[in-house]
Amino acid sequence: MLDLGVIDRTDDRPPYRQIAAQLRRHISAGTLAPGEKLPSESELIEHFGVARMTVRQALQELRGEGLVVAEHGKGVFVRSAPPVRRLASDRFARAHRQDGKAAFLVEAEATGRKATVDQISVSTEAAPAEVAERLHLEEGARVVVRSRRYLSAGVPVEIATSYIPESIAAGTAITSTDSGPGGIYARIEEQGHELAHFTEEVTARMPTPEERKALQIGAGVPVMTLIRTAYDTDETPVEVCDTVKVSHAYVLEYDVPAR
Amino acid sequence: MLDLGVIDRTDDRPPYRQIAAQLRRHISAGTLAPGEKLPSESELIEHFGVARMTVRQALQELRGEGLVVAEHGKGVFVRSAPPVRRLASDRFARAHRQDGKAAFLVEAEATGRKATVDQISVSTEAAPAEVAERLHLEEGARVVVRSRRYLSAGVPVEIATSYIPESIAAGTAITSTDSGPGGIYARIEEQGHELAHFTEEVTARMPTPEERKALQIGAGVPVMTLIRTAYDTDETPVEVCDTVKVSHAYVLEYDVPAR
DNA sequence: AAGTGGTCTAGACCACGAG
DNA sequence: TCGTGGTCTAGACCACTTC
């Protein structure tokens, strides 16, 4: 059994922090291995002789640090580190596209992990202000909106939403859930918009509750947002893609010339 | 007064989420401006007719998102965002360096905010494994280590640590706290290493307690780490710079060719 | 059915900040 | 002193998972 110690009422730290510290100690020491189940709330209540809320506060602190995840009806488990995906800056090379591969699958190939996509939805909507600005459209102009979730080895790692001007997407497979070989970039080029370059805007923040749910992460795990704008050879923006990535699942790599 | 609505018992979401959503709505709409005080727990209890724990759970959700900060004895306040710094990928252009400007000051100039540097320290140490690998050095080789903290308009926004091989830095201003006009990159080029390009590796995580202190941020605010490696025209790595940035203070911009 | 975590109530005492 | 948030108790009912 785990050595959890006892509450020291003379300790400066409140009981819930002491309980959290005991559990944290076992996690960092490996006595509680990734994927392993923590003692249940009832067991902790009995062991420490405290009220349920006190135990829950301790567990919540650990959830906030991203150390554990609670599964309703099953228990609280030590978080297992998700796969790290390195995204190099050549991930949109045309060569890959001509092979019939979408960008995410190209990235996945390098890691050797099985990549899947689900929760695909496609609709036509009015462009949000931030999107309209990047696409050089009037606010409220119609855009095709494609949302999907990416998983690596079954673990959700990213949610993404693409916005394509209706003038480009109309009548193509872009408006279908299956965008065809090479993904939507191949379709955009078929419409006569040869892709020249992308800009990416990267920042990080805490996830909203909806994002936490979709990415299956606890509170306390940050996300990176990457807004990519694709330009054709006329410098016309042809797509905006807003992605939310589980931060510790990704390392973004960029190459910057010194000029 | 704020329009907070009422709890809808037929709503799928539990009351605490509905309360959080109401408050979040006012924050994102600006009705609750940065720095402004939220209604007190007592006021929320009375308004919504719920128990205190329910209100606290709602507030805790917002704290977890980094939207608000609680100050004991004073109240709960909308987090005031530090100035956002957009880092464009031309920020290391040689033209700026020849003007005698260091990179951080170039970035700062665009925002019009007053940039300062403090907590500068310089030492010579054995290279940590991750640094040695990037510099193509034996582990334990000697490197000059330069640490400093950057502030924008007096607010700490970034801490950075540079590692330069001793073979390049020895006998130059790189080993002084004042690295001279154009910063250390100018000194490195004077040593015959013309800079060709940089790689940047970006990820995000929660800060350590030390980082929280140095950056003056509360729990619940993530940081971005950016590890930059500088290469000369011979593809020899000449510097590794490890930076930790307050995430919502920065947007990193990159330009990626479609090839 | 039994065990788990999720949510909620209605109190209590404490520590901090401002007047 | 008073209002604020921080911590805690001792219950309750619910939803989910496993058997």
Tens of pLDDT, residue by residue over A129-143, are: 899 999 999 888 999
**By CB neighbour count within 10 A (0-12 exposed, 13-18 middle, 19+ buried), where does B10 fall?**
exposed
Supply the CATH number for residue A73's domain. 1.10.10.10
Query: Which residues lie near nucleic chain D, judged by CB under 7 A?
Result: A 14-17, 50-54, 57, 71-74; B 38, 40-43, 52-53, 56, 59, 70-76
Judgement on whether residues A163 and A221 belong to the same structural domain of the protein? yes
pLDDT value, residue A258: 83
CA distance A194 to chain B (A): 9
Please state the rounded mean pLDDT for residues B7-30.
Answer: 90
Domain's final residue, options B38, B53, B78: B78
Using pLDDT thresholds of 50, 70 and 90, give the confidence band for residue B2: confident
Indicate if A49 and A113 belong to the same structural domain: no
Residue nearest to nucleotide D6 (CA to C1'): B72
Residues A129 and A164 in one domain: yes
Q: Which of A3, A9, A1, A18 is nearest to A61 (CA)?
A: A18
Pick from B203, B178, B30: nearest CA to B100: B178
Per the domain annotation, does A19 fall within a domain?
Answer: yes
Closest residue to B248, CB basis, from A203, A224, A255:
A203
CA A93 to chain centre: 23
Does residue A124 belong to any structural domain of this protein?
yes
Of A36, A56, A78, the domain-final residue: A78
**Residue linked to tokens 């996300």:** A223
Q: What was the pLDDT predicted at A217?
A: 77
Note whether residue B30 is domain-resident: yes
DSSP string, A111-165: HTPPEEEEEEEEEEEEPPHHHHHHTT--TT-EEEEEEEEEEETTEEEEEEEEEEE
Q: Give the distance, in angstroms, between residue A73 CA and nucleotide C6 C1'.
A: 10
* C-alpha closest to that of B15 among B6, B27, B4, B24: B6
Q: How far is Cα B254 from Cα A228, in angstroms, rounded to an integer? A: 9
Closest CA to B45 of B21, B74, B16: B16
SS3 for A89?
A: coil
CB B168 within 8 A of CB B202: no
Q: Find the CB nearest B204 among A94, A208, A224.
A: A224
Residue type, A62: L
Signed CA dihedral, A104, A105, A106, A107: sign only: positive
Q: List, in order, residues 6 or more apart from B238 with CB less than 8 Å away.
A: B135, B164, B165, B168, B188, B193, B195, B230, B231, B232
Is residue A150, in this structure, part of any structural domain at all? yes
Q: What secondary structure does DSSP assign to B194-217, as a single string?
A: -EEEEEEEEEEEPPPHHHHHHHT-
8 Å CB contact between B226 and B245: yes
**Which range among A89-98, A239-248, B171-180 shows the weakest confidence by mean pLDDT?**
A89-98
Q: A65 and B206: CB-CB below 8 Å? A: yes
Tokens of B231: 């290469």
Pick the range with the lowest mean pLDDT from A61-70, A166-175, B23-32.
A61-70
- What is the residue range of B36's domain? 15-78
- Distance from the Cα of residue A220 to its chain's centroid: 13
A169 in any annotated domain: yes
pLDDT recorded at residue A128: 92
pLDDT at A108: 63
- Residue B213 domain-assigned (yes or no): yes
* CA-angle at B112, arms to B158 and A200, nearest 5°: 60
Chain B residues whose C-beta sits inside 8 Å of any chain A C-beta: 17, 20, 53, 61, 64-66, 89-90, 92-95, 195-206, 219-224, 230, 247-248, 250-259
Domain annotation covers residue B225: yes
Cβ distance B254 to A200 less than 8 Å, yes or no, reads: yes
Contact B89 A223 (CB under 8 A): no
Confidence of residue B146 (pLDDT cuts 50, 70, 90): very high
Q: Identify any residues that bridge with A195 across adjacent strands, giving them in sequence order.
A: A232
What CATH number did the domain enclosing B176 receive? 3.40.1410.10
Rounded to whole angstroms, how far apart are CA atoms A122 and A176?
Answer: 7
Nearest-by-CA chain B residue for A211: B65
Tokens found for residue A16: 């819930």
Structure tokens at A99: 């092979």
Confidence of residue B107 (pLDDT cuts 50, 70, 90): low
**Among A45-59, A188-202, B29-43, B70-84, which stretch is predicted with the lowest mean pLDDT?**
B70-84
Q: Is the pLDDT of residue B63 over 60?
A: yes
Contact A222 B219 (CB under 8 A): no
pTM for the structure as a whole: 0.80
- What is the spatial distance, in angstroms and rounded to an integer, between the CA atom of A53 and the C1' atom of D10? 10
For residues A240 and A230, give the distance between their C-alpha atoms in angstroms, rounded to a whole number: 6
* Separation of first and last alpha carbons in chain B: 55
Sign of CA dihedral B200, B203, B204, B210: negative
* Chain B residue numbers touching A247 (CB-CB < 8 A): 203-205, 222
Report the pLDDT averaged over residues B4-12. Answer: 86
| A71 CA: nearest nucleotide by C1' | C5
Let me know whether B123 and B70 are in one domain: no
**Do residues A243 and A236 make contact, with C-beta atoms less than 8 angstroms apart?**
no
Q: Are residues B226 and B211 in the same domain?
A: yes
pLDDT of residue B132: 94
Kindly report the nearest CA distance between residue A229 and chain B, in angstroms. Answer: 10
Chain A contacts of B254, Cβ < 8 Å?
89, 199-200, 202, 254, 256
Please give the Cα distance from B57 to B87 (Å, whole number). 37
Q: Does residue B32 sit in the same domain as residue B159?
A: no
Q: Is the CB of B136 under 7 A from strand C?
A: no
Distance A67 CA to C3 C1' (A): 23
Residue A191 has pLDDT above 70, yes or no: yes
Mark whether A73 and A139 lie in a shared domain. no
User: Which comes out higher in pLDDT, residue B114 or B132?
Assistant: B132
A250/B6 Cα distance (integer angstroms): 40
Alpha carbon of A204: minimum distance to chain B alpha carbons (Å): 5
- Residue-level pLDDT at A83: 62
Read off φ and ψ for residue A146, nearest 5 degrees.
Answer: -115, 115
B14 closest-nt by C1' vs CA: C7
pLDDT at B111 over 70: no
Above 90 in pLDDT, residue A229?
A: yes
Contacts of A100 (CB under 8 A, 6+ apart): A181, A182, A186
Q: Judge whether residue A91 has pLDDT over 60.
A: yes
A10 occurs within a structural domain: no
Dihedral of the alpha carbons of B137, B140, B141, B147, in degrees to the nearest 10: 100
The answer for residues whose C-beta is within 8 angstroms of residue B240's C-beta and 6 or more apart is: B131, B134, B135, B162, B163, B227, B228, B229, B230
Selected for mutation to probe chain B from A57, A158, A242, A255 (highest B CB count within 10 Å) is A255
- The residues pairing with B77 across neighbouring beta strands, listed in sequence order, are B37, B69
Residue A95 pLDDT grade (very low, low, confident, very high; cuts 50, 70, 90): low
Secondary structure letter of residue A67 according to DSSP: S
**pLDDT surpasses 80 at A65:** no
